Amino acid sequence: MTQSLEQLQQQLRTLRLSETANHLPSLIQEAESQDWTYRTFLEHLTSYELERRDEKLIEKRLKWATFPFYKTIDAFQVDEQQSLSRRQINQLKEFTWLDQLFNLIILGPPGVGKTHLATGLGIEAIHQGYKVSFISMGQLIQTLKTEDVTRKSQTRMKRIRDSNLVIIDDLMFMAMDSREANLFFHLINDLYDNASVILTSNKGPNEWGELLGDPGITTAILDRLLHRAEVTHFRNDDSYRMKHRSSIFMKKVFKIN
């Protein structure tokens, strides 16, 4: 007995091939018009399902990463940042360093593109199959402090610890008390040998001790972060945001007669 199209679609959904089920009418129509063989039809059917699953996985991981904005690495203005060459950017995009569990520390004053570079690398990493988490230092400390009492914080920290790449923005932006410094150390210790970390900061490692307070914890954190790390210092005098800012005085003003 010949099954109806709706029955075939339902069977595909039962097999958890929901994307293919929705697209089945178009696939059948194309197969008939192109005189596909059975094998060609099956190849197109399975390829479509796999492609859509990959796309949905990327969408899910981009959502879970919680980037502050969507700016790709290709949009990063390499020519305006003397500390990195285009060749080095391309090398970072290959993610050999991520596979080798290297960390990337990006230092520099506000507005020079540290967060853009970190976010762009994170987005590219997701498209290449890695799991990424982005969090600011302030959010991280708050999440660590409430991990034992809120489900939201527990979920966030689980995703961070399960990530291949963790991006911590504005590291050492504010001073920590002893409990906060201890929580941060334990996270870095959890990530050590399990994930790569990208850190952005406007303060160099030699200044972190003042904000962490405890010399022992500072040494332990630095030991784990700098064991395998590339440190890039953006030294541009002019802020990228200032150079590319919008201004009401740059817009054309029309007179009303």
Contact 115, 68 (CB under 8 A): yes
Q: In the chain, what percentage of residues exceed pLDDT 90?
A: 57
Say what the pLDDT of residue 217 is: 84
Considering only CA atoms, which of 101, 162, 177 is closest in space to residue 132?
Answer: 162
Predicted TM-score (pTM) of the model is: 0.81
Say what the pLDDT of residue 173 is: 64
Q: In the chain, what percentage of residues exceed pLDDT 70?
A: 89
Query: Range(s) for CATH 3.40.50.300 in the chain?
Result: 73-239
Q: How far apart are CA 6 and CA 25, in angstroms?
A: 10
Q: Is the pLDDT of residue 128 over 90?
A: yes
Say what the pLDDT of residue 54 is: 92
Say what the pLDDT of residue 250 is: 47
Q: Is the pLDDT of residue 185 over 50?
A: yes
The average pLDDT across 168-184 equals 84
Q: Which residue has the tokens 């009492």?
A: 149
> Average model confidence (pLDDT) for the chain?
86
CATH topology of domain 73-239: Rossmann fold (3.40.50)
For residue 172, name the pLDDT band (cuts at 50, 70, 90). Answer: low
For residue 256, name the pLDDT band (cuts at 50, 70, 90). Answer: very low
Say what the pLDDT of residue 239 is: 46
Give the other-Cβ count within 10 Å of 145's Cβ: 14
Which of 62-66, 140-144, 211-215 is the least confident region? 211-215
Say what the pLDDT of residue 236 is: 60
Contact 125, 132 (CB under 8 A): yes
Cα 84 to Cα 88, 93, 233, 239, 256: the distances in Å are 6, 13, 9, 16, 49
Q: Is the pLDDT of residue 92 over 90?
A: yes
Q: Is the pLDDT of residue 2 over 90?
A: no
